[in-house]
Amino acid sequence: MKTPNAVRIPVLACCALLVLLPAGCGEKIAVPQPKGLFSVSAYILDEVYPDDSPLQVTASQGSLFVLTDGALAKRDQQYGLIHEVAGLAGPTALCVGDLRELVFVWEQDAGQVSWFSTTDLTLMGSTVLEGVLSVTAMATNPTGIDQEPGARTFVYLSDPEAGVVHRYVFDDFNGLSPYGILARSDGDAARFVHIPMGMATDSEDSLLVCDADPDRNWVIRFVSEPDLDDVTPETGDQDPWRGHAALFHDPTCVPPAAADYVLGDAAACGQSDWVGGPSDAQGEFSLPLAVAVDGAGRIFVADSGNDRIQVFAPDGDFDLLFGDLEQSPRPTSLAVVDVRIGGGADEVNHAAYVFLVHPDEGEVRKFISSEHYIYLNQEPPPPPN
């Protein structure tokens, strides 16, 4: 596969200060405070990388891992090719393991998960998984792994065709072994995921799962530790070991409402007339397909139906959004690349870059944070034309 050439995009953003404008009857109207440093749009389109068939992207230790039709590539932050392995059997999903040593790939045509060294993409092993029908996303999460001595992590697979999120335990000698499920699709509470898509582990080791059901459009938060008291309703067997829905914040009523467990529009405390559906409102979604978390714990969601990315604080509060039909049409996958900012005890990780996959355009696009632009250029981004 050829190495794409970057197309440089002029960096555009709005610079603004808090201004007080006169109004009738002596009132003052405050112009909304910009998000980020000086910028209304906290992330600005920086570069466009043509690619023949981009499917998914993830980031680890400053490198990108890009899945395409039949290949896995390791790339730098300028999308330059570092390593590539071709000949994969219909790959559809990938994730990097907790220890950053392995990248896992689902190969649909072979019905297997293969794992490769993140250093040079050397094939380290594979396991055929019976009963997995289709995989749209993968994630690893170590919560509860102490239940299995010698195991390294759990690997989760979103399988909308089977209507479950599968859980497998991974160790170096046996590969992947079944370990129940995280969620089923046959219920209406926040513990159920109707159409599972993108997944990510948040800053508290909870698992975030996108639910692309057009009547829900949620990102649901799970305590992913297997629930050993869970049973199969039909048989009473103690084998699914599902995860519990996890609260984003202190609930406003008891029992907590669905809105306390999810990002997006869900029934709030005391709300009995809730009707779901796609929404373009701030903090709500239309077809959330992917989710990623930066080193500061902020949650980035690919709001594909609205052609934008929404960013939330670790507690689920809305922070900012960026993108539009022209700059970020129908993003299906995203990755964040952190940099360290500050000094000493005040150092924090910050998503300096966000990479988006646009399969319909045959492109991967890179956005830069206004803060990082200022750090690199020692000036705020220029205003739009």
Q: Using alpha carbons, select from 263, 291, 265, 288 the residue that is nearest to residue 277.
A: 265
Distance of CA 292 to the CA centre of its chain: 3
What is the residue-wise DSSP string for 116-145? EETTT--EEEEEE-TT----SEEEEE-TTG
d(CA 207, CA 95): 13
For the cut 80, the answer to whether the pLDDT of residue 143 exceeds it is yes
CA dihedral 306, 309, 310, 315 (to 10 degrees): 140
Helix (H) / strand (E) element for 315: namely none
pLDDT averaged over every residue in the chain? 88
In a domain, 1, yes or no: no
In a domain, 292, yes or no: yes
**CATH number of the domain encompassing residue 237:** 2.120.10.30
The answer to whether the beta carbons of residues 349 and 342 sit under 8 Å apart is: no
Q: HSE-up of 339 (CA within 13 Å, CB side)?
A: 13
- Considering Cα of 86, then 90, then 94, then 100, what sign does the dihedral take? negative
Q: Which pLDDT score, from 0 to 100, does residue 103 have?
A: 98
Q: Which amino acid is at 122?
A: T
pLDDT average, residue stretch 91-117: 96
Q: What is the pLDDT of residues 314-356, one digit of tens each?
A: 999 999 999 999 999 999 999 999 998 766 777 777 899 999 9
| Residue range(s) defining the domain that contains residue 32 | 7-377
In a domain, 382, yes or no: no
Higher confidence at residue 258 or residue 240? 258
In a domain, 2, yes or no: no
Q: What is the pLDDT of residues 277-300, one digit of tens each?
A: 999 999 999 999 999 999 999 999
For the cut 90, the answer to whether the pLDDT of residue 17 exceeds it is no
For the cut 60, the answer to whether the pLDDT of residue 142 exceeds it is yes
Distance of CA 217 to the CA centre of its chain: 14
pLDDT average, residue stretch 242-258: 92
Rounded to two decimals, the pTM is 0.89
Start-to-end CA span in the chain (Å): 37
- What percent of the chain is modeled with pLDDT above 90? 73
In a domain, 384, yes or no: no
Q: Which pLDDT score, from 0 to 100, does residue 211 have?
A: 98
Confidence band for 69, pLDDT divided at 50, 70 and 90: very high
Q: Which two structure tokens, joined as six digits, stand for 136?
A: 């749209």
Q: What is the pLDDT of residues 209-242, one digit of tens each?
A: 999 999 999 999 999 888 888 877 667 676 678 9
In a domain, 130, yes or no: yes
Q: Using alpha carbons, select from 366, 359, 288, 297 the residue that is nearest to residue 327.
A: 366
Number of domains the chain contains:
1
d(CA 355, CA 338): 12
